[in-house]
Amino acid sequence: MISAPRTAAGRAPLPFCHQSFHNLQELRHSASLANKVFIQRDYSEGTVCKFQTKFPSELDSRIEKTLFEDTVKTLNNYYAEAEKIGGHSYLEGCLACITAYLIFLCMETRYEKVLKKISRYIQEQNEKIYAPRGLLITDPIERGMRVIEISIYEDRGSSGSSSGSSTTSSSGR
As a whole-number percent, the residues of the chain with pLDDT over 70 amount to 72
Residue 97 has pLDDT above 60, yes or no: yes
CA neighbor of 73 nearest in space, from 57, 56, 43, 50: 50
Given pLDDT bands bounded at 50, 70 and 90, which one contains residue 20?
very low
CA–CA dist 163, 149 (Å, integer): 20
7 neighbors 132 (Cβ within 8 angstroms): no
| pLDDT of res. 173 | 34
Given pLDDT bands bounded at 50, 70 and 90, which one contains residue 154?
confident
